[in-house]
Structure 1
């Protein structure tokens, strides 16, 4: 039996899934994605992830039947390689880089890259420029700049490649209109550091003999180039744009990213953290986003207790709001401090309800800015929220909302890269709107308060 392994590295968790070529899951296990706080700056624990991956594969009884391996990861992350190893630790993009004035003079315009100015290291070009400017002798040892999915492909095979979905993810490194590197790359003289560009589904090579020993993978196991996680979620739906259908995919995890496939890219606003991501096929896709998973957790608290409709209705009737923002990074309300407009103690169920209402309001605000119409498909964790989709549908009578039964759209999308043609089409559940009048009135007051807050 021929099996496929998908290594899915999110900002919060990392997951390994092993499936048959028809998509049947045989193994699914996860670990926390730790950030190492020691050293000059916080960085990804790549050696810890590697050890966990090797141990997990070794414990999987059918590992020798894995014939293909593919990685999908969060964006804004790169590995700088020299002499067969990391020259620098892989920077955590949430670290606050203090180079505002210098990088402001170096980065390309929003009009060129469709990449908004973001805080911390969310513009990957800023991370690389900081390393080059502050540690020039070490930077001179760099021979390859690898996007994060391709770092793992390199670590497995020893072959270095580049791929467009991670290059085009608010990095300042890519120009979507020309399909080429940006003026920043030319200005800094980095072009030769980026390996050859390949498609996300390219077979980079087979696993190294040393990797085969560490993991138990067969020496003939092929490694696929890999893909940015939100773009992996889009893969099953990209054909919609060629058919002229209006379709927006909401990929939810630590981030909630809304991608309007086939929409007008000219709508994006830098100040609202809107951008053009680049699909696996090289097309620019208008997107809006905020840290929905992070903010939900901040509002709902550690003890998650799913709410009932009565909890939602009570908060609406009492005009209790969560006003943005509850994460310091990204989103249309970046820079504002989160506030809950009540002094009474909320139950765990009410906190869950309030977090749901908050995400519905911010999402609707972003979708209106995107000008999205027609079908809206919710992927990832929010597809399992009992009220998010129905309330979102209730805010716009023309909006048709669906939930994917696959709560891990990134993994499923990455699986499609492995040249499989018999994976079942995802089942989509159409959602019936709920509390339409009440949620519309609630949103109007929330928006006025959010903008004034």
Structure 2
């Protein structure tokens, strides 16, 4: 069987997915690997274990007589760098993007290179410490100079996975352009601070094409360049849809993509968790973020505890109009300090005791979350597009999807069922079919 293999590396699950020529999954293997800690004791990905896992699974796949592997690609989470020495071995831990950034070093950086807002506007990246992966290299250079001198190549994680598969070192737009602080959206090149520090010399060249052929024994396999996972999940929609749209990629984070926004980011947007991404071809994508899944789970746990319900009680709650008409307390967030459209701390806690039932409280939780989402979408020009597509976990939540449709009566709202959008996007990008559609996975939502 002719297949395309995709290694899809998430924070929790590592998997490979095999697609047939019609982009149907023929095999999926998913595993969870234990974490390790860096030299400061901070939890992080075990890069040695991940390396071994990818290499062993890839060798087994290539030697499996059931499959004729025609193409391969990788997708992985962003803001993570693997640093290689002269022997192409990792020379440092894969430092976590959650690791706190030293305040003194941040102060040094901005004293040297100027106003944080100006740099954030130019790079399309809110100042987020280690989440700006360029700042990880700055941190190593200035606090671990001996380690920095050993680094020959720094690869973002998707490109490191690709290196393990093909032996080729590249950079790609989706990884360099996702809140890294590395890329100047004004100059369409590495930012001036990156060049002043010489950090771009550690990064392999960015290649503009979508694939290359590499040799595995006497066989040629078509390979992509690796993709940042959120940007990869956008690809099936870009290929299948002809109308203008915003994609809501929902999960722990709700990441909202508008390919059709034409204006540069403002400081007002940056302060409210808007940022720029890059497509694999290097075009800008205006994006906003909302810590919606985390807020949802936190408040659901509070509701369940107060009303003595099972933790997953909300999965059985059915949309009911009567719960939306009662006079209820204002919704306040608990998990969105420093992010989302209202990053300031909430003045008080949301009062669950004011509700008569868990079902009523849950409806109003979803009203609160969708109202926040509406503000987040207004920030990225939702009124400039025709449709809204909801992907991910919240696409299966009827209360959520119907409330989104109510909030945007002038848009057509769809829930989509693409549970493997990230892997599929990586497969489509490397193989480049003439046409691709997924109509059977699209459900139009009525308010």
Which TM-score band applies after superposition, normalised by the shorter structure? 0.7 to 0.9
For 2:294, what is the secondary structure of its paired residue?
A: helix
Could you tell me how far apart the structure 2 residues matched to 1:240 and 1:66 are?
25
Could you tell me how far apart the structure 2 residues matched to 1:8 and 1:18 are?
11
* 1:433/1:267 CA distance change after superposition, 3 Å: farther
Give the drift of 1:226.
1.2
Could you tell me how far apart the structure 1 residues matched to 2:248 and 2:84 are?
34
Q: Is the 8 A contact 2:55 2:165 kept in 1?
A: no
Alignment of 1:347-426 (within 5 A): 353=363, 356-373=366-383, 374-421=386-433, 424-426=436-438
Deviations, residues 227-276 of structure 1 (Å, cap 9, x unaligned)? 111211222344699x7x53111122332111111113335511011112
TM-score (norm 2): 0.84
Could you tell me how far apart the structure 2 residues matched to 1:351 and 1:13 are?
32
> Match for 2:91 among 87, 90, 110?
87
Alignment of 1:213-224 (within 5 A): 220-224=220-224
For 2:437, what is the secondary structure of its paired residue?
A: coil
Could you tell me how far apart the structure 1 residues matched to 2:272 and 2:417 are?
30
Give the drift of 1:364.
1.0
Q: Is the 8 A contact 2:387 2:413 kept in 1?
A: yes
For 2:382, what is the secondary structure of its paired residue?
A: coil
Could you tell me how far apart the structure 2 residues matched to 1:303 and 1:409 are?
28
TM-score (norm 1): 0.83
For 1:89, what is the secondary structure of its paired residue?
A: coil
Give the drift of 1:221.
4.2
Give the drift of 1:131.
1.1
Q: Is the 8 A contact 2:415 2:444 kept in 1?
A: yes
Give the drift of 1:110.
2.3
Q: Is the 8 A contact 2:257 2:288 kept in 1?
A: yes
Correspondence for 1:103: 109
For 1:259, what is the secondary structure of its paired residue?
A: strand
Moved more, 297-306 or 285-294: 297-306
Give the drift of 1:166.
0.8
Could you tell me how far apart the structure 1 residues matched to 2:296 and 2:212 are?
38
Correspondence for 1:449: none
Correspondence for 1:30: 30
For 2:378, what is the secondary structure of its paired residue?
A: helix
Correspondence for 1:442: none
Could you tell me how far apart the structure 2 residues matched to 1:56 and 1:232 are?
22
Q: Is the 8 A contact 1:165 1:278 kept in 2?
A: yes
* 1:352/1:44 CA distance change after superposition, 3 Å: farther
Q: Is the 8 A contact 1:3 1:19 kept in 2?
A: yes
Correspondence for 1:117: 127
Deviations, residues 344-389 of structure 1 (Å, cap 9, x unaligned)? 7997767765654443222111011112131111122222222222
Q: Unaligned stretches of 5+ in structure 1?
A: 210-217, 435-453
* 1:406/1:104 CA distance change after superposition, 3 Å: same
Deviations, residues 383-406 of structure 1 (Å, cap 9, x unaligned)? 222222221011121121112221
Could you tell me how far apart the structure 1 residues matched to 2:352 and 2:9 are?
37
Task: State how many pairs are aligned.
Answer: 422
Correspondence for 1:303: 311
Give the drift of 1:21.
2.0
Could you tell me how far apart the structure 2 residues matched to 1:59 and 1:310 are?
48
Alignment of 1:21-420 (within 5 A): 21-32=21-32, 34-40=34-40, 41-53=42-54, 64-83=67-86, 84-99=88-103, 100-105=106-111, 106=113, 109-118=119-128, 120-199=129-208, 201-203=210-212, 205-206=214-215, 220-238=220-238, 245-268=243-266, 269-301=269-301, 303-305=311-313, 306-309=315-318, 313-314=322-323, 317=326, 319=328, 322-326=331-335, 330-334=339-343, 336=345, 339-343=349-353, 353=363, 356-373=366-383, 374-420=386-432
Could you tell me how far apart the structure 2 residues matched to 1:349 and 1:96 are?
39
Could you tell me how far apart the structure 2 residues matched to 1:223 and 1:30 are?
21
